Chain A
Amino acid sequence: MTAPTPRLVFRLTLLGVVAVIVQVAAVGQLEIFGADADLVPLVVASAGFLCGSLTGAVYGFAVGLFLDIALVQTMGVSSLLELTVGYGAGRVRELRDPQGALVPVALGAGATAVAAIGFSLIQFLLGADAPVSWILVSDILITILINAAIAIPVYAVVRRWLTPALPDDPRRRRRRAYTTGGLSPLSRS
């Protein structure tokens, strides 16, 4: 776990600003089966997964704060939730290092569930005076499903954007070495 470089910080900042603006100005206005996609937890989870838990937590806090400001809503709510998402995604990578094509789907669904359910719970704790129905539950479930469906392309875009600024990870270095023949055990035989 190394400190993020200025290049990575710049790329993360730009990614966060663009994600929040696109979410607020466009994606939030596109309804699919009565619910919207939410890009923000997907982007934060992807960044946390690629950059580590500490960077993910700080990034989630910052993006959440920007989202709260852009939407003029209670400050601190999204920060708390997104930092949980970023940290959690980073820890998943650090502890389990899951492999497989469907990892972003599970990651996106989990991140969205934390963000959406957490948001509702905080609203209850803050005393929102509103009747809650199954429609609320179904909205949250639909959002999780939509986000799971778009998680793979979002993760691919985030990875493509951040990879040039990330420190070379051992697995990628090893894979590259094998394909060029230099360090492969097979090449020595």
Chain B
Amino acid sequence: MYDRKTVRRRRAVLGLLVAGALILLTAYFGESAGGGLHSVQRGVFSIVSPIQDGASRALKPIRDAVGWVGDTFSAKGQLADLRKQRDQLRQNVASGEEALRENARLQGLLNLDTTLNLKQYSPVSARVIGVSPTVWFATVNIDSGTGDGVRTDMPVINDAGLVGKVSVAASDAAKVSLITDSSVQVSVRVAQSGVSGLVQASVGNPDDLLMRYTSKRDRVLPGQRVVTAGTTSSRLESPYPPGILVGTVTHVDDAGTDAQVVHVVPAADMHRLEFVQVLTRKLNGNRP
């Protein structure tokens, strides 16, 4: 069908391309974040990000329309569950209100400001302009970068809780690795009991985080809130300020053993990230 010359040429080009891709992969993986390929990537990303930003805004109505259809189906399925939850919550409200009043009195007595007061961390608001399509890289691109004071490893939150951290910062855009990304680990503690551990992603499932490295004596119960622990070791500084809500415990595998794994549903909805805030200032080395 084809002469030998054509076949040889085709194989040569294919070989060159495969070799090129492998060399690129090896070089990129081996070099530091300040290396040549990373710099080229950041440069091109700076050029591409305004286009992404424009496309993201232009295509928002389409996303919203598809999202609305999906939400309608999902809402019908959730209706029965939510009615049961509503009845349960009504009972909880009564006891919760009493607890709130008591809490307010104690706060007044101790003169403690228990609110996070995030303004002190100089938050920078940003819009999500791109999302990674793979299940491995749970990352989003945002439209704020080094020009706005955003730097690598800065924590990213939204109104619900911790979202992730900045993994790459270009001049006017940045890449945020979500807490559901396989490369991100967060030092956390259970708010109610103080049990500490490390939260990491369950690859492919953005609705589940795995809290590990708890001991068998640590008792963790469904419904308890998990928050960032901040810096707990003098040698290893955490990028996350203490007390930011990470999620809520759903269930515990192998409870009461050293291998127990606590499943946590993230507080922030990773499916619908539109606006986030980057905390650009670190206070007291993020110590509690």
Which residues of A come within 8 Å of B, CB atoms? 1, 21-32, 35-36, 38, 40, 53-54, 57-58, 61, 64-65, 68-77, 79-80, 83, 87, 94, 116, 119-120, 122-123, 126, 128-133, 135-140
Distance between B14 CB and nearest chain A CB, rounded to angstroms: 6
The answer to whether B133 and A69 have CB atoms under 8 Å apart is no
Within 8 Å by CB of A25, from B20, B70, B129, B183, lies B129
A119 and B132 contact, CB distance less than 8 A: no
Residues in B with CB closer than 8 Å to A74 are 25, 28-29
Q: Are B133 and A23 in contact (CB under 8 A)?
A: yes
Most A C-beta atoms less than 10 A away, residue of B25, B129, B167, B200: B25
**B125-144 Cβ-contact flags toward A at 8 Å (1 or 0):** 00011111111110101000
| Nearest CB of A to B20, in Å | 7
A-B contact count (CB 8 A): 167
* Number of B interface residues in the complex (CB < 8 A): 61
Q: Are the CB atoms of A61 and B203 closer together than 8 Å?
A: no
Instruction: List, in ascending order, chain B residues with CB within 8 A of A126's CB.
Output: 29
Contacts of A76 in B (CB 8 A): 21-28
Give B98 Cβ to nearest chain A Cβ, in Å: 39
B63–A72 touching, CB < 8 Å: no
Q: Which of B40-48, B154-162, B186-194, B232-240 contacts A (4 or more CB under 8 A)?
A: B40-48
A24 touches B130 (CB 8 A): yes
Q: Contact: A73 with B204, CB < 8 Å?
A: no
Known pairs A69-B45, A136-B205 / 6 extra A-B pairs, C-beta < 8 Å: A21-B51, A40-B133, A74-B25, A75-B41, A135-B204, A136-B204
Whether B48 contacts A133 by the Cβ 8 Å rule is no
Shortest Cβ gap from B30 to chain A (Å): 11
Q: Is the CB of B141 within 8 A of A73?
A: no
Chain B residues lying within 8 Å of A38, measured Cβ to Cβ, are: 133
Task: State whether the Cβ of B6 lies closer than 8 Å to any Cβ in chain A.
Answer: yes
Asked whether, in the complex, the Cβ of B25 is within 8 Å of the Cβ of A54, the reply is no
Instruction: Quote the shortest CB–CB distance from B92 to chain A (angstroms).
Output: 30
A-B contact pairs, 11 of them (CB 8 A): A24-B132, A25-B55, A26-B59, A54-B9, A71-B141, A83-B14, A128-B203, A131-B200, A131-B202, A133-B204, A135-B203
Contact of A70 among B42, B52, B210 (CB under 8 A): B52
Please name all residues of chain A whose beta carbon is closer than 8 Å to the beta carbon of B27 when the two chains form the complex. 76
Q: Does B4 contact A (CB under 8 A)?
A: no
Interface presence of B280 (CB below 8 A) = no
Q: Are A25 and B59 in contact (CB under 8 A)?
A: yes
**B1 contacts the other chain (CB 8 A):** yes
Q: How far is the CA of A118 from the CA of B17 in the complex (A)?
A: 17
Assess the B24–A75 pair: CB atoms within 8 A: yes
Cβ–Cβ < 8 Å partners of A129 in chain B: 182
Q: A130-B200, A130-B201, A140-B135 are in contact. Are A70 and B45 (CB under 8 A)?
A: yes
- Known: A26-B62, A69-B48, A83-B18. Is A75-B37 also a contact (CB below 8 A)? yes
A-side contacts of B83, CB under 8 Å = none
Q: Which residues of A contact B6 (CB under 8 A)?
A: 1
Q: Which residues of A contact B203 (CB under 8 A)?
A: 128, 130-133, 135-136
Cα of A35 to Cα of B210 in the assembled complex, Å: 20
Contact B25 A24 (CB under 8 A): no
Inter-subunit contact B24/A32 (CB<8 Å): no
- In contact, A30 and B67 (Cβ under 8 angstroms): yes
By beta carbon, the residue of chain B nearest A128 is B182
Q: How far is the CA of A122 from the CA of B210 in the complex (A)?
A: 23
